[in-house]
Amino acid sequence: MSELVTGEAVALELRPARLPSRALAVLLDLVAAVTVYVVVTIAVVVSTASLDEAAQTALSIATFVLVLVGGPIAVETLSHGRSLGKMACGLRVVRDDGGPIRFRHALVRGLIGVIEILMTFGVVACIASFVSARGRRLGDVFAGTLVVRERIPVARTGFVPPPPPWLAGRFSGLDLSAVPDGLWLAVRQYLTRMQQLDPQVGWSMAERLASDLAERTGAPVPQGVPPAAYLAAVVHERQAREARRAFGSGASSSAGPAAAAAPAVDAAPAAGTASAAGAASDAHGRSPVVPPGAGSQPSAAAVASSSGAVESSGSARPAASHEVPAGERPGTGFVPPA
């Protein structure tokens, strides 16, 4: 990376283009320019066949200067430093402060490029690029410009495996505010690389990370849940919360059974709401207050609402609906070491 400082004292990190990519861009530009020059020369010769030799020579020189010198200057000026070859190679000419070039920059680069590229077959330009720390040729030095790379390859990020289906929504009530960013990063790195680790080493690492995460959240790891599956489920819950915070409550479907039960609770009649309040008071050890005219038995909606209230009250024991026998659980991919 090369650090450029703008006029506002802002440091920019740009990657200068090296000799191979610049040579390929210049070669493409020369092929395009020579093709245009040949076509224009043929057209000029055909149209000026009746003129004398001196006029034809003058037109040939003017054609050479306009096409092979003025053409690249005009293209770089109008495209702000992106010729055909540079666009194909993902390069751009910028000023030393990172800003776009103007006509005077392209003019200096083009005039000196005639000497160091056309007249010396690129030998001077190659030597200057090798000597320069940022790969600049003489035209860049005198014009105060730099050729940088616009398309930088992005490193591939590791794939975080999803949690097992029977753990979906299991940790929706965890308090994740006390988990530091360093622990999240360690958990994510482990999940992306756990297939490359030795089974014993990976299992011990997962246990250590799961214990640290459980200590931060204040809830122990449920029995029968592999530590790697627990880590994946908690990371998935965190990602779902961030998605809901960024894009709204409808952006993530990780709410699970609670979201499915919400319409039934909303559709309950007024009597069912009153019965739900009475059932909730039963859960706290107080006798329910039954309004006049209401039945002695609570409705099904009230029972469902009261059970949901008990599950969301933050009790230490998980809800019975989440307990799935070990023999009926589907394959998770998180297999303990032998």
Give the pLDDT score at 250: 52
pLDDT band at 290 (very low <50, low <70, confident <90, very high): very low
Query: Is it the case that residue 77 has pLDDT exceeding 80?
Result: yes
Give the pLDDT score at 152: 62
279 in Cβ contact with 298 (< 8 Å): yes
pLDDT band at 185 (very low <50, low <70, confident <90, very high): confident
Of all helices (H) and strands (E), which one includes residue 324?
Answer: none
176 in Cβ contact with 234 (< 8 Å): yes
Type of residue at 194? M
**Of 192 and 283, the one with more pLDDT:** 192
256: left (phi over 0), alpha (psi -120 to 50) or beta: left
Query: Is it the case that residue 144 has pLDDT exceeding 60?
Result: yes
Helix (H, G, I), strand (E, B) or coil at 4: strand
17: left (phi over 0), alpha (psi -120 to 50) or beta: beta
Query: Is it the case that residue 338 has pLDDT exceeding 60?
Result: no
Taking residues 134-144, report their average pLDDT: 91
pLDDT band at 141 (very low <50, low <70, confident <90, very high): very high
CA distance 120 to 2: 29
Write out the two tokens for 148: 């940088």
pLDDT band at 153 (very low <50, low <70, confident <90, very high): low
**Lowest pLDDT segment from 12-21, 69-78, 80-89, 191-200:** 12-21
Query: Is it the case that residue 203 has pLDDT exceeding 80?
Result: yes
Strand partners, 11: 5
Query: Is it the case that residue 59 has pLDDT exceeding 50?
Result: yes
State the virtual CA torsion across 275, 278, 279, 282 in degrees, nearest 10: -160
**Whole-number average pLDDT of the chain:** 73
pLDDT band at 139 (very low <50, low <70, confident <90, very high): very high
Strand partners, 95: 145
pLDDT tens digits for 218-245?
Answer: 888 888 888 888 888 888 888 888 888 7
Query: Is it the case that residue 89 has pLDDT exceeding 80?
Result: yes
86 in Cβ contact with 26 (< 8 Å): no
Helix (H, G, I), strand (E, B) or coil at 2: strand
Give the pLDDT score at 189: 85
Type of residue at 181? D
Q: Considering the chain, what percentage of its residues have pLDDT values greater than 70?
A: 66
pLDDT band at 297 (very low <50, low <70, confident <90, very high): very low
Give the pLDDT score at 249: 55
179 in Cβ contact with 217 (< 8 Å): yes
Taking residues 304-322, report their average pLDDT: 41
Write out the two tokens for 195: 């297939």
Give the pLDDT score at 13: 58
DSSP string, 90-117: TEEEEETTSPBP-HHHHHHHHHHHIIII
Give the pLDDT score at 314: 41
Please, where are the H alpha helices in 6-137? 19-47, 53-64, 71-78, 84-89, 103-113, 123-131
Taking residues 161-183, report their average pLDDT: 82
Write out the two tokens for 108: 């200096």
CA distance 67 to 44: 13
**Lowest pLDDT segment from 114-128, 136-150, 173-187:** 173-187
CA distance 101 to 18: 19
Which whole-number Å values give the CA distances from 328 to 164, 166, 323, 325, in the listed order?
13, 10, 11, 5
CA angle 271–287–280, rounded 5-degree value = 55
Burial 99-108 (b: 16+ CB within 10 A, else e): eebeeebbbb
Give the pLDDT score at 285: 42
Type of residue at 25? A
Taking residues 22-35, report their average pLDDT: 92
149 in Cβ contact with 94 (< 8 Å): no
Q: Is the dihedral of CA 278, 282, 287, 293 positive or negative?
A: positive
Lookup result for tokens 């009250």? 313
Which whole-number Å values give the CA distances from 167 to 31, 119, 192, 265, in the listed order?
61, 71, 19, 24
pLDDT band at 137 (very low <50, low <70, confident <90, very high): very high
Give the pLDDT score at 101: 92
pLDDT tens digits for 248-276?
Answer: 655 444 444 433 333 333 433 333 433 43
